[in-house]
């Protein structure tokens, strides 16, 4: 049994935790000045419509970020001490095969211009040098997690990324500190629900008007993987006509986490013939 940890999530949590934004309000009429730790409090405290709100980024030392990432890892490991699993960390590296697949929208194009945490590079280097993190090439950490989960049944996937719930097995949410076991049926229902709704986080469009709840409801009562794909293509056909299977397959390949090296999702053959 192995403990497989999503290092990308940890890096950003530790990084943003050491990037603080401080807020100040000042009333030009009376000169009153107040300081706040969050924008909501600053705005709610406004003395009048004339109050000026300033903000300033304050970054804590790099050592603090590295200490935080170590504490996070220790906390995850501590939960499974009695099972003594082998620990593996995964990080996303350079390149992503999904960039060439996306035609309806630029993959993760909604993140363009986003400012990463100040200490992100140092945190990643720390995970590699001290904790032996494996960095992907041409794919994502999610793919490495999917490959490792498939090759090592009974292992635990530690992440807060709901996209990974398409993988059957044990999943540990290290923020809520909760573990769930995803059955094979629930795993493919989670996957096909996402093919219907898309993934706004990664700028992957699905079908118009379908969120996660409505998408899951559309799959109610379906008995197997093939039936789900037929339903997906039926729904896509209603919106896209002759391009239905092309767009459904595109979305599926974008949200699919690989199960083996070089793996690429394809429609179940029986369903493909009937679609």
The residue ranges of every structural domain in the chain are 1-18+60-182, 20-59, 186-275
pLDDT digits (tens, 9 = 90+) for 94-130: 999 999 999 999 999 988 878 899 999 999 999 999 9
Q: What percent of the chain is predicted at pLDDT more than 70?
A: 96
Residue 52: phi, psi to the nearest 5?
A: -95, 135
pLDDT for 53-96, tens place per residue?
A: 788 888 999 999 999 999 999 999 999 999 988 999 999 999 99
Closest Cα to residue 180, out of 197, 160, 153? 160
Q: Which residue has the higher pLDDT, 16 or 56?
A: 16
pLDDT beyond 50 at 247: yes
In the structure, what pLDDT confidence band is assigned to residue 142 with cuts at 50, 70 and 90? very high
CATH number of 1-18+60-182: 3.40.50.1010
Instruction: Give the pLDDT of residue 53.
Output: 77
pTM: 0.89
């Amino acid at each position: 049994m192995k403990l497989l940890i999503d290092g990308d999530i940890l890096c950003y949590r530790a990084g943003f935790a050491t990037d603080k934004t401080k807020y100040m309000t000042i009333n030009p009429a009376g000169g009153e000045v107040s300081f706040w730790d969050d924008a909501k409090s600053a705005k709610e405290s406004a003395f009048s419509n004339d109050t000026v709100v300033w903000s300033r980024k304050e970054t804590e030392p790099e050592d603090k970020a590295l200490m935080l990432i170590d504490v996070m890892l220790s906390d995850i490991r501590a939960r499974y001490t009695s099972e003594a699993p082998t620990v593996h960390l995964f990080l996303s590296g350079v390149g992503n095969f999904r960039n060439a697949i996306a035609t309806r929208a630029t993959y993760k194009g909604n993140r363009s211009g986003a400012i990463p945490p100040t200490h992100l590079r140092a945190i990643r280097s720390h995970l590699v040098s001290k904790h032996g993190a494996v960095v992907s090439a041409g794919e994502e950490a999610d793919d490495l997690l999917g490959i490792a989960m498939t090759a090592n049944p009974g292992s635990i996937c530690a992440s807060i990324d709901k996209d990974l719930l398409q993988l059957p097995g044990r999943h540990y949410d290290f923020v809520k500190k909760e573990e769930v076991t995803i059955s094979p049926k629930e795993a493919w229902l989670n996957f096909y629900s996402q093919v219907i709704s898309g993934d706004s986080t990664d700028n992957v469009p699905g079908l118009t008007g379908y969120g996660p709840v409505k998408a899951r409801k559309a799959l109610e009562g379906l008995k197997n993987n093939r039936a789900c794909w037929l339903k997906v293509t039926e729904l896509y056909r209603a919106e896209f006509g002759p391009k239905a299977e092309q767009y459904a397959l595109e979305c599926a390949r974008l949200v699919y986490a690989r199960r083996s090296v070089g793996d690429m999702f394809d429609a179940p053959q029986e369903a493909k013939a009937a679609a």
